[in-house]
Amino acid sequence: MKQYQLFASTPKAMENILADELKELGAKDVHPRLAGVSFQGNLEMAYRACLWSRTANRILLPLSSFEVNSKEDLYDAVKKINWFDHFKPDETFIVSFSAKNSNIINNSHFGSLVVKDAIVDQMRAKFHKRPNIDTHRPNIRVNVYLNAENAQLSIDLSGESLHKRGYRVENVTAPIKENLAASMLLRCRWPEIAKKGGSLIDPMCGSGTLLLEAAMIAADFAPGLLRDYYGFTGWKQHDSECWQKLLTEAENRKSVGLGKMPVIAGFDQSRRTVATAITHVENAGFQNKIHVERRDIQDAEPAESWQPGLLICNPPYGERLGDDEQVAQLYLQFGETLKANFKHWKASLIISNPEMGFRLGIRSQKPITLFNGPLECKLLRLEIEEKSFFIPKAKSQQERIDQITQSHSIKPADEQRAEMFANRLKKNLKKMAKWAKRENVNCYRLYDADLPEYAVAVDLYSGEKLWVNVQEYDPPKTIAPHKANQRLAGILTEIPKVLNIDKSQVFLKIRRKQKNTDQYEKQNNTGKFYTIEENRCKFLVNFEDYLDTGLFLDHRPIRLLIQQQAKDKNFLNLFAYTGTASVHATIGGAKSTTTIDMSNTYLEWAKNNFDLNNMSGNHNIIRADCQEWLKQQAQETEKKQYELIFLDPPTFSNSKRMEDFFDIQRDYIELINHSLELLTKPGTLYFSTNFKRFKMEPQLFTGAVIEDISRTTIPDDFSRSPKIHYCWKIQKK
């Protein structure tokens, strides 16, 4: 049988897992690449990978590689292929195009149009017919990946992503994809545990993804067996006899495996998600094989007859300030449940914020990096044994600073470096203090990793006193942790000297992991707020309790712009954080303000900011998912219109209050379009994001004029980091 060079794509950090999986399936010449694995095999091997791979996204059959220095190069190279070898002129196809580091074609939509035109033109010239586009289930899917000037064109044998197993209800999106769940289970050695009869429990099972992936592994159930569509089934070179043989083999293996399953159980506090999980279990054919029930996390425990095995879950995690506080309590509670009810079990959980893992009070093995969409996460693996237990103790800011400065003695060489830092701080202060006085700025960034050895940001907040907020960046991997701590100790010693303040006025945020039991930064609950002023507005800031202070300093110019333009206008503030932009709009004379956020903590903070400024009038503060709220408002027959809108979403959010995760690069088009529905003409929408790799595609908004104003909204104190945020001014045509 003919041998092919094939490629299997997978999320970053899962390449080695996929490579091992392909070798086990019989692939040859297996080589992990970035976000994928290249391998060799015949058509049966390609089919087997589609049917049995638990971690791949797609299986691609490359047809050609070529250089692209113009759109004509792309068109000509695609047209050279005899497409009649792959499908008929009266059949359907679709093109998936992606580009990276290309100066020629960096728009995926444009690239796919060029490829489509080349295929259609060839078919029309030969047969006087043209194939049609089918975005749902085409006969073949053409995949083109352009990296710089090098392009690879492939047939997508999978058709749609292989993480879609076929059991999920269409309108239900899981917090993690199925292939990520499978990777977690493989990393935790679930196949070996299952063979020994060990049980599996997911105490926060949601819609049941981890339960079903665990069941499929334990039952030798091919993950693609439930699917009714693959990309190769409409391909002219498809070998239906070979495919049917593999399906029969998989059915036989499943029948045997279902009789050997260990206990698999899931709990969740939500009645709705439990019902969804049960539906998925039934859809997959695991009735009476997987137990799911409604149960709170503190009540999670195995039955006496269940053999100790693996507890695994994807706990809810929030990217927003209010979510972190709530999630922190959940982790503390979860840790107590593990210690009390799951001794001698293994446990594993995937988290986006390693600081939360500390709150479990159980030491973990070295975390494994995985990616949930664009979000980097850590897979924690725990042995639930008393020797691994510890009590997480929250320390005050001053205790934490004293611990660093007293525990890490500064050597002569470090003293010289600390003096360099102090000199740079003095130099910056001399320059920035004059600027701040001239511009009437009370809070600004004084230092931002100016010296590579001292990777911190130093922000000054002037109010009743001068307060200093220090944020430590992750040091280079070449710097040993003890050395990084020594340098941090030097920073904390020098700042009070240079600024002539008491050390109690310095606050520290440590965002990197430590190599001891205090390895995660813990947030406090002091409730201490301080008042500062900005352009006639007063705001409450907090330096100890949260990851952020309540005021994003880099947005100072856009807040002032809103204040200057708000007079007699209705102002809408989306993803409003602590409502600072709404306060500015009110001070600027806005007719009304509408402030929307999902976090109770943020909104309470916003109310306090309004009260601090003695504001009255038509000011609405609404707790809602901004994405859903915009959809609903845009559909209203008589929708309220706003002359001024500020849209500043997070980069990514997986809040448990949301039905789906939020991804700015994926969701920004819908957000802007719905916001434009509420915008008057003339009116102005300001859209901002802190995602450094964000790509705006203005051509997608045909009814709007979009102007990049990023440069003018970066204040002088952030000029060292011009990518701190991007900002666009958007108006209707």
Q: What residues have CB less than 8 Å from 265, skipping those under 6 apart?
A: 199, 200, 201, 202, 211, 290, 291, 292, 293, 302, 306
pLDDT averaged over 10-residue windows placed end to end, the chain, 733 residues: 94 96 97 96 98 98 96 97 96 96 91 97 95 95 96 97 93 87 98 97 96 98 97 97 98 96 96 95 96 93 96 74 62 88 96 84 92 91 91 62 59 71 95 95 95 90 96 73 75 94 89 40 72 97 90 97 98 97 97 95 96 93 94 89 96 67 90 96 96 93 95 94 94 93
| The pLDDT of residue 393 | 57
> What CATH number is given to the structural domain containing 708?
3.40.50.150
| The pLDDT of residue 232 | 97
Q: Tell me whether residue 329 is in a domain.
A: yes
H or E segment at 380?
Answer: strand 375-383
Q: Tell me whether residue 532 is in a domain.
A: no
Contact status, residue 33 vs residue 5, Cβ threshold 8 Å:
no
> What CATH number is given to the structural domain containing 415?
3.30.750.80
Q: Tell me whether residue 454 is in a domain.
A: yes
CA dist 104 → 101, 149, 202, 208, 563 (Å)? 9, 8, 48, 44, 41
Residues 496, 571: one domain?
A: no
Residues 269, 205: one domain?
A: yes
Q: Tell me whether residue 520 is in a domain.
A: no
Domain boundary among 457, 485, 510: 510
Residues 198, 286: one domain?
A: yes
Q: Where are the alpha helices (DSSP H) in 539-680?
A: 556-565, 580-587, 600-612, 626-635, 664-677
Domain boundary among 510, 530, 554: 510
Domain boundary among 156, 187, 211: 156
Q: Tell me whether residue 530 is in a domain.
A: no
According to DSSP, the β-strands at 570-574 and 619-623 are unpaired
At 161, which amino acid appears?
A: S
pTM: 0.59
H or E segment at 243?
Answer: helix 240-258
Burial of 118 from C-beta contacts in 10 A (0-12 / 13-18 / 19+): buried
Residues 101, 233: one domain?
A: no
Residues 572, 638: one domain?
A: yes
Residues 689, 709: one domain?
A: yes
Q: What residues have CB less than 8 Å from 462, skipping those under 6 apart?
A: 442, 443, 532
CA dist 290 → 164, 209, 595 (Å)? 20, 12, 44
Q: Tell me whether residue 588 is in a domain.
A: yes
Q: How many Å apart are CA 365 and CA 385, to the nearest integer?
A: 13
Contact status, residue 343 vs residue 380, Cβ threshold 8 Å:
no
Residues 133, 275: one domain?
A: no
Q: Tell me whether residue 533 is in a domain.
A: no
Residues 142, 95: one domain?
A: yes
Burial of 416 from C-beta contacts in 10 A (0-12 / 13-18 / 19+): exposed
- In this structure, the dihedral spanned by the alpha carbons of residues 695, 701, 707 and 711, taken in order and rounded to 10 degrees, is -20
Residues 115, 256: one domain?
A: no
For every residue of 54-119, DSSP letters joined together read SS-SEEEEEEEEEE-SSHHHHHHHHHHS-GGGT--TTSEEEEEEEEES-SS---HHHHHHHHHHHH
Residues 406, 550: one domain?
A: no
| The pLDDT of residue 518 | 35
Q: How far is CA 705 from the centre of its chain?
A: 29
Q: For the chain, how many structural domains are there in total?
A: 4
Q: How many Å apart are CA 57 and CA 62, to the nearest integer?
A: 16
Q: What residues have CB less than 8 Å from 245, skipping those under 6 apart?
A: none
Contact status, residue 246 vs residue 48, Cβ threshold 8 Å:
yes
Residues 280, 134: one domain?
A: no
> What CATH number is given to the structural domain containing 41?
3.30.2130.30
Return the closest-CA partner of residue 68 out of 152, 6, 155, 143.
152
Show the domain range for 408. 397-510
At 206, which amino acid appears?
A: G
Contact status, residue 669 vs residue 629, Cβ threshold 8 Å:
no
Residues 218, 301: one domain?
A: yes
The DSSP 8-state label assigned to residue 466 in this structure reads E
According to DSSP, the β-strands at 200-202 and 264-268 are parallel
H or E segment at 218?
Answer: helix 209-218
Q: Tell me whether residue 40 is in a domain.
A: yes
The DSSP 8-state label assigned to residue 364 in this structure reads B
Q: How many Å apart are CA 532 and CA 537, to the nearest integer?
A: 8
Burial of 693 from C-beta contacts in 10 A (0-12 / 13-18 / 19+): exposed
Contact status, residue 206 vs residue 173, Cβ threshold 8 Å:
no
| The pLDDT of residue 106 | 87
